[in-house]
Amino acid sequence: NSFVTRTNTCGELRSAHVGQEVTLYGWIQYQRQGLFLVLRDFQGLTQIIIPQDEAHSHVKELLSNAPVESVVRVTGIVSPCPLGQENPKMPTGDIEVKAETAEILNSCKKLPFEIKDFIKKSEALRMQYRYLDLRSFQLQYNLRLRSQIVMRMREYLCNLHGFVDVETPTLFKRTPGGAKEFLVPSREAGKFYSLPQSPQQFKQLLMVGGLDRYFQVARCYRDEGSRPDRQPEFTQIDIEMSFVDQAGIQRLIEGLLQYSWPEERGCIMTPFPSMTYEEALADYGTDKPDTRFGMKIVDIGDFLRRSDIQFVQNALSYPRGTVKAICIPRGVRYLKNKDLESLKESAKSQFNQEIMEIICKPDGSLKSLLTKFLGEKQQSELIQELNMQVDDVVLLAAGEHKQVCSALGSLRLESADLLEAAGLVLRDPMTFHFLWVVDFPLFLPKEENPTELESAHHPFTAPHPSDTNLLYSDPTKVRSQHYDLVLNGSEVGGGSIRIHSAEQQRFVLEKVLKEDSAVLSHLLEALEFGAPPHGGIALGLDRLISLVVDAPSIRDVIAFPKSFRGRDLMGNAPDYVTPEELESYHIQVSWPLAEKEAKQN
C-alpha cells in the first residue's frame, strides 16, 4: 500500500483488523438488493455492508445504484461477520467492512460480458475487450506468476551466476533459412529491415566481444499464422555462454528452472532425463515426447518376420521397413467403434498410413484380421510381446520407419485424448515431466526438393564432434550439437553449441545449404577475429508459463496477444495507411480489385 491513498487492499483484511477504520479502492464485483456489495481489487475480495440508517442515506443511494464494475472508494470500520455467516471460501470471509463514506470514482457502462472466470465467452470477444478480460482472477494470476518467475530468473542468472542483461536491436536484416520474418520499410528505396526471429546473431557477436555470459528477456517475431502455442510476436529467455559444452548449458537451465519454479507447483527434480532424437522417434513417434504416460511404441518386426503375412513381409523388405504398434489400455471399455475408425482415418489422412487393430477379448483370445495368419502359440507370444491385458486395443502399422513412428506417435496422443474424454486420467496437468532430447540430425532434406538440404534448426549449429569428418563427405549423416528441452510433450526450449570457425561456417552456408554467405559477411568476419567456443539456449517463456498454469493457449499468459490470424482485435491492427504516408518509404500498394472497391465503399 506504499505510495497510494488506500489503507489496505481488498484481499488482506482479517479478524486481526476488526475495529480499524480502513479505506479501500476497487471494482464492484457484485451488489445485492442494496444490502451489501463485494469489492474487488488485484489482491482479492472484501464484503462491504451498505448502511441502512437515515444518517448514511446518501452512501446507501450511491452504492445501491452503482453499476457492477464501477470503480469506488469506500471508508468504513472492519467488523466480524455475524455468527454462521462467515465465508470460508474467501480469505477475507471472517470479516466485513461497514461503509461510512463512499465515492464513485468512475461508473461502468453496460458490459459486453460478465467479469467472472466461469462465464463462457468467445475468445474473439475476450480479445476485443482485453482490458476487461484482464480483470479476471485467472489472467491476473497468470500475469503475476509470470512476473515472479521472470524476476527469479534474473536473480539466478545475473546475481548468482554473473550473466549480463543486454538489449539487442529489433531492426536488423534478413537471416537465411528459418521462419519467415516481418519486413519493415526504410526511407532508402528498396531497402528493408527485418524483425529478428531471435537475437541469434547478436548473442554470438557478444561472445566474440568477450562478454562471456549474456542474458535477455527477448521479444522475437515470426511472420507465421498463430497456433494455440505460437504467436507472431513472442518472448524468450535468451542465453549464451563462452567456453561451455552441452552438459554445462543443461546444468545451467536445470538450476535456473529449479530456482525460479513456483512453490505451489511442487518441486522439480534434477538432473532431467535425456534421450536421443532417434530414441524419441522410435519410442514415442515425435521429437517432443509426453512422458507422463506409457503407451510407448513397440517394435514387433522381428517377431512377425517369421510369419507369412504378406503386408508385413513387404514392409520389412525395404531398407528402413518396420512393423510397430501401440497398446491402448482398456480401449474396448473406453473407446467406441467410431473412435477406432476415427483413429485409423486420422493415420490415413495425415500420414498415408494404414492401421490394423488387434483386440484382446475377455477370454484372453485375440480378435483381428491378423489371427488367421497366426497359430495359438504365436498369438500367445504376441500378447506377451505387446504386454496386452483383457480389453486392450492394439494399433499396428507397417511401412517406412519414420512414417510408421510418426503415425503411431500421433495416434498415441489422440488415443490419450479419447481415453481422458471418457474418464480415464492419464496426464495430470500438475505433474511436470522435463526431458532433454539430443543428437538431432544437423540437416534435413527440404520438403519441396528432397535432393537439397536445410538446417534442422539453424545454420549456426555445430556438428557433433564425432561426426565432423562426415560434414565434408556425407552431411546427411551428421548429428548436431543441438538440444531441446521438452515439458509434458511441448518444446519449451532449444539451443546448441555454435560453429565458432569462420571456415566451417562458410562451408555449411555455401557448400551444404547453398546459401549466399554475403548476407552473413559481418558474422563470418567476426568469427575470424578470435571467436571463443560458445553455445546457448532460448526458453519459450510464453509456452513455459502456459504449461505451469495449465492454460489452454499461450494467449492466456500474454497481456495483449494477437488473434489466431495474427490480428489485434482490440486496436484493429494491422491497419491501412495512406498513400502519402507510404510515399516516403517508396512503396505503392497494388490492391486486388474486390478489396479496392470494398475499401472505397
**DSSP string covering 304-325:** HTTS--HHHHHHHTSTTEEEEE
State the SS3 of 466-508: HHCCHHHHCHHHCEECEEEEEECCEEEEEEEEECCCHHHHHHH
Of 556, 576, 593, the residue at which a domain comes to its end is 556
CA atoms of 145 and 9, how far apart (whole Å): 19
71 with 192, same domain: the answer is no
The reported pLDDT for the residue numbered 177 is 66
User: Directed axis angle between helix 401-421 and helix 277-284, to 10°?
Assistant: 60
The reported pLDDT for the residue numbered 347 is 97
Q: Is the pLDDT of residue 226 over 90?
A: no
320 with 236, same domain: the answer is no
Q: What is the mean pLDDT of residues 26-35?
A: 94
Q: Is the pLDDT of residue 331 over 60?
A: yes
CATH code, 338: 3.30.1360.30
315 with 244, same domain: the answer is no
87 with 178, same domain: the answer is no
Q: Is the pLDDT of residue 517 over 60?
A: yes
Of 401, 422, 443, the residue at which a domain comes to its end is 422
Using a pLDDT cut of 70, give the percent of the chain over it: 97
Q: Is the pLDDT of residue 601 over 60?
A: no
Amino acid 472 reads: Y
Question: Does the residue 601 lie in any domain?
Answer: no
pLDDT in tens, 350-372: 999 999 999 999 998 999 988 88
Q: Is the pLDDT of residue 597 over 70?
A: no
* Ramachandran class of 412: left when φ > 0, alpha when ψ lies in -120 to 50, beta otherwise: alpha
Instruction: Please enumerate in sequence order all residues whose Cβ is within 8 A of that of 313, keeping only pairs 6 or more positions apart, or say none.
Output: 307
The reported pLDDT for the residue numbered 229 is 65
Q: What is the mean pLDDT of residues 438-460?
A: 94
459 with 410, same domain: the answer is no
311 with 415, same domain: the answer is yes
Question: Does the residue 538 lie in any domain?
Answer: yes
Would you mind telling me the total number of residues written for the chain in this entry? 601
Q: How many domains does the chain have?
A: 3
CATH code, 92: 2.40.50.140
pLDDT grade, residue 178 (50/70/90)? low
380 with 458, same domain: the answer is no
The reported pLDDT for the residue numbered 447 is 87
CA atoms of 427 and 416, how far apart (whole Å): 8
Q: Is the pLDDT of residue 529 over 60?
A: yes
91 with 29, same domain: the answer is yes
Span of 115-124, 129-138, 434-443, 507-516 with lowest mean pLDDT: 115-124
Q: Is the pLDDT of residue 333 over 60?
A: yes
Q: What is the mean pLDDT of residues 2-29?
A: 96
Query: Contact 360/392 with Cβ under 8 angstroms?
Result: yes
Question: Does the residue 32 lie in any domain?
Answer: yes
pLDDT in tens, 197-213: 999 999 999 999 999 99
439 with 551, same domain: the answer is yes
230 with 347, same domain: the answer is no
pTM of the model: 0.93
Q: What is the mean pLDDT of residues 319-344?
A: 94
User: Directed axis angle between helix 246-260 and helix 137-154, to 10°?
Assistant: 130
- Please state, in angstroms and as integers, the Cα–Cα distance from residue 296 to each residue in 285, 408, 414, 497, following that order: 9, 9, 13, 30
52 with 173, same domain: the answer is no
CATH code, 186: 3.30.930.10
Q: What is the mean pLDDT of residues 558-573?
A: 92
- What is the overall mean pLDDT for the chain? 94
233 with 301, same domain: the answer is no
Output 326 or 429, whichever has higher pLDDT. Answer: 326
The reported pLDDT for the residue numbered 67 is 96
Q: Is the pLDDT of residue 11 over 90?
A: yes
State how beta strands 274-276 and 434-438 pair.
parallel
Q: Is the pLDDT of residue 594 over 60?
A: no
Query: Contact 569/133 with Cβ under 8 angstroms?
Result: no
3-state secondary structure of 516: coil
Can you give the residue range of the structural domain that contains 79?
Answer: 15-106
Cα 402 vs. chain centroid, distance in angstroms? 25
Question: Does the residue 573 lie in any domain?
Answer: no
Of 395, 422, 449, the residue at which a domain comes to its end is 422
Query: Contact 249/539 with Cβ under 8 angstroms?
Result: no
Q: What is the mean pLDDT of residues 298-324?
A: 89
Q: Is the pLDDT of residue 309 over 90?
A: no
Q: Is the pLDDT of residue 65 over 70?
A: yes
Q: Is the pLDDT of residue 179 over 80?
A: no
Question: Does the residue 240 lie in any domain?
Answer: yes
Amino acid 118 reads: F
Span of 286-290, 296-300, 316-320, 322-326 with lowest mean pLDDT: 316-320
Question: Does the residue 128 lie in any domain?
Answer: no
Q: Is the pLDDT of residue 242 over 90?
A: yes
The reported pLDDT for the residue numbered 326 is 97
Question: Does the residue 358 lie in any domain?
Answer: yes
- Please state, in angstroms and as integers, the Cα–Cα distance from residue 580 to each residue in 190, 470, 586, 588, 589, following that order: 17, 56, 10, 10, 11
The reported pLDDT for the residue numbered 376 is 86
